[in-house]
Amino acid sequence: MDTIGPEELDRRIRTRTLTDLRGIGPKTGAAIVQAHAGEVPEYLARLEEAHAELVPLADDVAEFRATLRGDLHTHSDWSDGGSPIREMAEAAIALGHEYMALTDHSPRLTVANGLSAERLERQLEVVAGLNEELRPFRILTGIECDIHLDGSLDQTDELLDRLDVVVASVHSDLRAESAAMTERMLAAVGNPHTDVLGHCTGRLLIPREQREGRRQRPRPESAFDAEAVFSACVEHGTAVEINSRPERLDPPLRLLALAVEFGCTFAIDTDAHAPGQLDWQGNGCERAVETGVDPDRVVNSWPVDELLGWTGR
Residue 50 has pLDDT above 70, yes or no: no
- % the chain with pLDDT above 90: 73
Looking at residue 36, its pLDDT comes to 72
Proportion of the chain in helix, strand, coil states, percent, rounded to 5: 50, 15, 35
Residues 6+ apart with CB under 8 A from 160: 143, 145, 153, 166, 193
151-200 per-position pLDDT tens digit: 999 999 999 999 999 999 999 999 999 999 999 999 999 999 999 999 99
What value does the mean pLDDT of the chain take?
90
Instruction: Look at residue 143 and give its three-state secondary structure.
Output: strand
130-153 per-position pLDDT tens digit: 999 999 999 999 999 999 999 999
Domains of the chain: 6-49 (no CATH), 57-312 (3.20.20.140)
Closest alpha carbon to 3 in 23, 28, 30, 17: 23
Closest alpha carbon to 151 in 175, 132, 169: 169
Q: How many Å apart are CA 312 and CA 164, to the nearest integer?
A: 8
Confidence of residue 52 (pLDDT cuts 50, 70, 90): low
Instruction: Look at residue 219 and give its three-state secondary structure.
Output: strand
Looking at residue 48, its pLDDT comes to 53
Confidence of residue 308 (pLDDT cuts 50, 70, 90): very high
Q: Report DSSP state, residue 298.
A: B
Residue 55 has pLDDT above 80, yes or no: no
Confidence of residue 1 (pLDDT cuts 50, 70, 90): very low
Q: Report DSSP state, residue 7.
A: H
Residue 215 has pLDDT above 50, yes or no: yes
Q: How many Å apart are CA 272 and CA 54, to the nearest integer?
A: 27
- Range in 41-50, 115-124, 237-246, 282-291 the model is least confident about: 41-50
Structure-model confidence comparison of residues 215 and 292, the more confident one: 292
Q: How many Å apart are CA 97 and CA 215, to the nearest integer?
A: 32
Confidence of residue 28 (pLDDT cuts 50, 70, 90): confident
Closest alpha carbon to 162 in 141, 183, 147: 141
The number of residues making up the chain comes to 313
Residue 255 has pLDDT above 80, yes or no: yes
220-250 per-position pLDDT tens digit: 999 999 999 999 999 999 999 999 999 999 9
Looking at residue 51, its pLDDT comes to 53
**262 contacts 219 by C-beta, under 8 angstroms:** no
Measure Cα distances from 234 to 106, 153, 197, 209, 294 in Å: 25, 20, 12, 35, 15
Q: How many Å apart are CA 22 and CA 34, to the nearest integer?
A: 19
Q: How many Å apart are CA 61 and CA 81, to the nearest integer?
A: 27
Q: How many Å apart are CA 230 and CA 112, to the nearest integer?
A: 28
